[in-house]
Chain A
C-alpha cells in the first residue's frame, strides 16, 4: 500500500494505525533476518505512536497527512532516547538527548517510526558494507548490495517493511541506493530540510531526504519536513513551496548530460536513460543533449572536499562526552586509542585523506583547488540551466553489484557516486525514479536534476517518468 492510501484509511477510520503498524512490525520480524535493513526496531515506541494517532482520530482531531504511515529512519538521525549509532562502534549504545527536526515534523504529521536503519559507518560508503554491524542485502537479490550509504532505508522500502523512509545524501547516499533497490529517492536543495539532529558527515553537502515507492509519497514526505528551522542556521529562510506531481512536461526543456552517458556508464544503464529521454520527448518535452564539463572532475573534487569536512566534523568523537572511551594514562593517548578502536577502516581512510588535504603544504593544492573546481562546476550548471529547465542522467553507473566486489578497492567504490556528486557540490536538488531493469534483471534508476529550489518542476518530470517507465 502507498503512504497516501494508508493515511486515507486511517484518517477515515477504515483502519487503525495500530493494525497497520502491527502488520509492518510482523513483516520486519519475519523477513528482516534475511535483509538486515534495521539496526534497531522500536516495537514499543511504534505501537505507542500508532495508538496516539488512533486516539486523535477517535477524538475527531486532525491526525496529520501521514497518519499511521510506517516510517524507517536512517540511524544517523537523532531520536531522543532511542539508540543512534551511525553504524559505528564509537556510538554503540548512545541514546541522543534530542530528536532531529525532520523526524519531529514527520511525527507531527502522524507518521510512525518503526526503528533505525543500517548505513555505511557515518554515511561513508556506497554499499552499506561499511556498517560496523554487518551489511544489508538488496531485497531484489540477496547476493547484491542495496547501495549506500542509506542502504537500510532503501531496502526497508523495497522490501515493503515501510512505505516511506528517511535517508541522508552527501554524495548520492539516497539516490544511489534508491536506484539499486528500485525505489524513488530524493535529495532536496541544500537547506530545504533542516539538518538539526543529523549527525554531520560533510556539512556543506549533507541533506536529509525521502525514500518512497512512488513519486507522490516522496513529495508528501518532503513537504512535511521541509522549511526553515531556527535550530539550523543553514536552512533556507523562506517557506518551502508546495510540490506539483502532475505528470505534465509539455514545453519543458530537458537536457541530457553528455558527460554522464558514455565512458564509465554501463551500456544497459545508459540505454535506459536514453529511453527515458525519448519518453519525455514523446510526452511533450523538448529534449536535447547538453555538456556540463565540470561533471568530469566533480568526483575528484568531492573526494577531497567531503573527507576534509569529515575530518573536522569527526574530531568530536574523542571519548569524552558520549560514546566509546578506551582509557589510557592521559587524554592524548586516550583520544588515539578510542578513535582507533571505535572507527572502521573507511572512516579512518577518509579522516586521513581529509586531514592530508587540509594539512600545511597541501591545503591549496588539494582542498583549495577542489573548492575552485566546485565554483567551475556551479558555473557550468548555471550555463546549462539558461537553456534547460531540468537535466537528465543515469543515477548510477551500474546496477547493484555483488557483496564484497568493491570492498578491497576503495576507489572502485567511490566511482559508484560519479552521477550523483555534482548535485551535492552545487547544492541543487536531484531525484531518482525507477526506470526498468538491466541485463541482469536488476533495477535501474534515472536521475532528474534541477537548479536550487527547483523541486516543483523536478517532481513533474519525475511523475512523468514514473508514468511511462517500463513495467
Chain B
C-alpha cells in the first residue's frame, strides 16, 4: 500500500472502467487519487489477522419469492428510453472486430 498510484495506474484503471480521459485529467486525477489513497493508508496499518471481511451489513440468505409469474415492465415504455432501437430491440454499434 506504500507504493503511490502512478499516472500509468490511473490510465490503466480508466481503460478498465471504459472511461476516456484527457492528458490534463490524468495529471489531475493522479494527484487527487494519490492524496485520497495516502489518507486511507491508516486502514493498511490495522492488525486484521484472523478478521473476516464484511461485504454487507445484513446476513440474509436465500431470499426467495413465490414462483408465480408477474408482469414485467412494458417493453415499449422501456425501449422508448433507449438511445437507438430497431425491431423492438436495443441497437448498438458493431461489437466484433474492435480493439480490446
Q: Give the interface of A toward B (CB within 8 A).
A: 94-98, 190-191, 204, 230, 233-234, 236-237, 296-297, 300-301, 303-304, 311, 315, 318-325, 327-337, 339-340, 343, 345, 348-349, 351-353, 355-356, 359, 365-366, 368-376, 378, 409-411, 414, 425-427, 452
Contact = CB atoms under 8 A, between A and B. Distances in A.
If over half of A's interface residues share one DSSP class (helix, strand or loop), that class is named, otherwise mixed; here it is helix
A373 B46 contact: yes
B9 A356 contact: yes
A300 B46 CA distance: 12
Given A97-B74, A321-B81, A322-B82, A353 B33 contact: yes
A373 B52 CA distance: 9
12 contacts: A230-B65, A296-B42, A315-B18, A320-B92, A349-B29, A351-B19, A369-B1, A369-B43, A372-B53, A373-B48, A376-B51, A426-B57
Contacts of B14: 352
Given A330-B98, A339-B19, A300 B43 contact: yes
Nearest to A376: B51
A340 B32 contact: no
B46 A349 contact: no
B97 to A, nearest CB: 7
A301 B98 CA distance: 37
Contacts of A330: 93-95, 97-99
Contacts of A98: 73
B48 A369 contact: yes
Contacts of A94: 81
A359 B13 contact: yes
B43 A301 contact: yes
A378 to B, nearest CB: 6
Given A331-B94, A370-B43, A355 B13 contact: yes
Contacts of A304: 40, 43
B18 A427 contact: no
Contact of A355 (B16, B57, B78, B95): B16
Nearest to A236: B58
B86 interface: no
Instruction: Report the interface size class on chain B.
Output: 35 or more
Nearest to B56: A204
Interface in B67-100: 73-74, 77-78, 80-84, 90, 92-95, 97-100
Contacts of A230: 65
Interface of B: 1, 5, 9-10, 12-14, 16-21, 25, 29, 32-33, 35-37, 39-44, 46, 48, 51-58, 60, 63, 65, 73-74, 77-78, 80-84, 90, 92-95, 97-100
If over half of B's interface residues share one DSSP class (helix, strand or loop), that class is named, otherwise mixed; here it is loop
Contacts of A331: 92-95, 98
Contacts of B73: 97-98
Contacts of A325: 83-84
B56 to A, nearest CB: 5
A264 to B, nearest CB: 12
A218 B39 CA distance: 35
A356 B33 contact: yes
Contact of B17 (A297, A355, A414): A355
Contact of A351 (B17, B41, B48): B17
B76 to A, nearest CB: 9
A300 B39 contact: yes
A233 B59 CA distance: 11
A29 to B, nearest CB: 29
A359 B17 CA distance: 11
A110 B12 CA distance: 51
Contacts of A233: 60, 63
Given A321-B81, A356-B9, A373-B46, 9 more contacts: A320-B92, A331-B92, A332-B99, A337-B20, A348-B21, A349-B32, A356-B37, A376-B46, A414-B39
Given A303-B36, A334-B93, A234 B43 contact: no
A374 B54 contact: yes
A321 B82 contact: yes
Contact of B18 (A297, A329, A332): A332
Residue of B13, B16, B29, B40 most packed against chain A (CB within 10 A): B40
A353 B18 contact: no
Contacts of A300: 39-43
A427 B42 CA distance: 22
B80 to A, nearest CB: 8
A322 B14 CA distance: 22
A97 B29 contact: no
A427 B56 CA distance: 8
